Structure 1
């Protein structure tokens, strides 16, 4: 299957600080790709270059075989960015109709508002919308041209639980065979729930790319909960321990590459261990392990 978008060795700096560092990324029809990374990892900058809003200082970007700045390429993309908004004096329906004029074959207003969950807000002025409602309007505007490549930057920000669930359900339904969706998110549960593929950025570099099982397997850690009389700092210094924290109920929670070796050492040294559970890592565990500076290097 041919990719819809291909980024090869793209880099971008701001005031001498490297924001994106030689990243390769391909996006294919029918897949949802979650772009993960800590604040400042380069997610938004990478999406800006994909959309042609910023030029890479090194490397290349091709969307549908063309530079993303070409009008034919832009007409086949849709974007929901963090700071997207509409004219505050227009109604929701008027704002969507205004955006329709930018596309040769726009989707119907009623269909767009239904997907975004705004059918009952069609006559409300944009300036009167809540933060979550503005997010949903941004999705409707991003879908106006029936894009084949949909880019979403923190799409569920400012949404309550019900709004988040509704928007994620809409995004899943949009991932048809001929459309690729890439979304940047800080919500790891969201990524695990919706994405076919996960890409992790750290300090501007791509450090993981695959489905959830592949990314978790790359880390090779397991999650351990226990109670023990051993000082937490000494546990943290044990070989293979990636992170240690204390849960609200007072148990020690840690990620370890060799939990069996750690436990054998505790028992051999006569330490008390109770309330023990050892489980496979999830995406959150893998993300923590990957984005700790030493692990990422």
Structure 2
């Protein structure tokens, strides 16, 4: 397969502090990659270096086999960053059409209006759009050149449920056409549903890399959830064998561990007061929180 993105021992320092620390990463073309991490983990800095907006302090970045600032490379990528700026006195369709003309083989105006869900707003002033609509306009501009790689930084912030669903469907369609998608998001169910590869970074370092299923299986195992009786305490549950984490939501408890059969047997043997018991695989959000806690503690 052809390499879309290649980082080799990339470090970025700001005033002596490493925002990105020795990051090595290879992304093949056609991958939908979710780049995850808490605030300040180095995600945005990493994306900026891949796009050529910032130079690494050390290490190398290649995009489609070339330097990110090479015009031949830039013509083949699209990016939607967190801040979407609109041009005053231009309507939505005029704004999209302007961006289309920056590229040799753009998508049609009608197609871009369709995939961004802005057909009804085509004659509306771009500056009058709501926050969620401006995100959709940013997506249309990022997709204008029919890019081989598209970078989407927190793309669905402010979007309503139907707009998010349209966005997900569009990303799946792009992936089916062999496009490479790099997505950062705080909506982890989005990453779980869309990505075929998840990379987690914290404190500028890569701490996990795999499919969503691999990340979840390796990190959280399975989860037992139940409604705890009034006498059930955190200390009682923590003493159970093989517990890796416990989360409370009111009287609803989630217990994480590698062997939930053993754990459930222990809870029953100890006659723990519980009802509405469920056993399920841990979600990506559970796995993410566990990974971050482990690396911060270590």
TM-score when normalising by structure 2: 0.90
Provide, for residues 144-190 of structure 1, a one-character-per-residue CA deviation record: whole Å limited to 9, x for no partner: 11110110001111101111111111111111343100100111111
Q: How far apart, CA to CA, are the structure 2 residues paired with 1:223 and 1:17? A: 38
Q: Note the C-alpha offset of 1:271.
A: 5.0
Q: How far apart, CA to CA, are the structure 2 residues paired with 1:94 and 1:267? A: 65
Q: Note the C-alpha offset of 1:223.
A: 1.1
Aligned to 1:188: 188
Which has the larger displacement, 116-125 or 174-183?
174-183
SS at match of 1:241: coil
Gaps of 5+ in 2: none
Aligned to 2:293: 292
Tell me, yes or no, if structure 1 residue 244 matches structure 2 residue 223.
no
Provide, for residues 77-132 of structure 1, a one-character-per-residue CA deviation record: whole Å limited to 9, x for no partner: 10011102221321111112222232222222222111111122111111100111
Which has the larger displacement, 10-19 or 137-146?
10-19
TM-score when normalising by structure 1: 0.91
- 8 A Cα contact 1:149 1:179, kept in partner: yes
* Aligned 1:77-88 pairs, distance under 5 A: 77-88=77-88
Cα RMSD after superposing both structures: 2.2
Q: Note the C-alpha offset of 1:28.
A: 1.9
- 8 A Cα contact 1:202 1:296, kept in partner: no
Which has the larger displacement, 58-67 or 274-283?
274-283
Give the direction of change, closer, same or farther, for the CA distance of 1:239–1:291 in structure 2 (3 Å limit).
Answer: farther
SS at match of 2:12: strand
* Aligned 1:68-147 pairs, distance under 5 A: 68-147=68-147
Give the direction of change, closer, same or farther, for the CA distance of 1:263–1:294 in structure 2 (3 Å limit).
Answer: farther
SS at match of 2:244: strand
Gaps of 5+ in 1: none
Q: Note the C-alpha offset of 1:217.
A: 2.1
Aligned to 1:155: 155
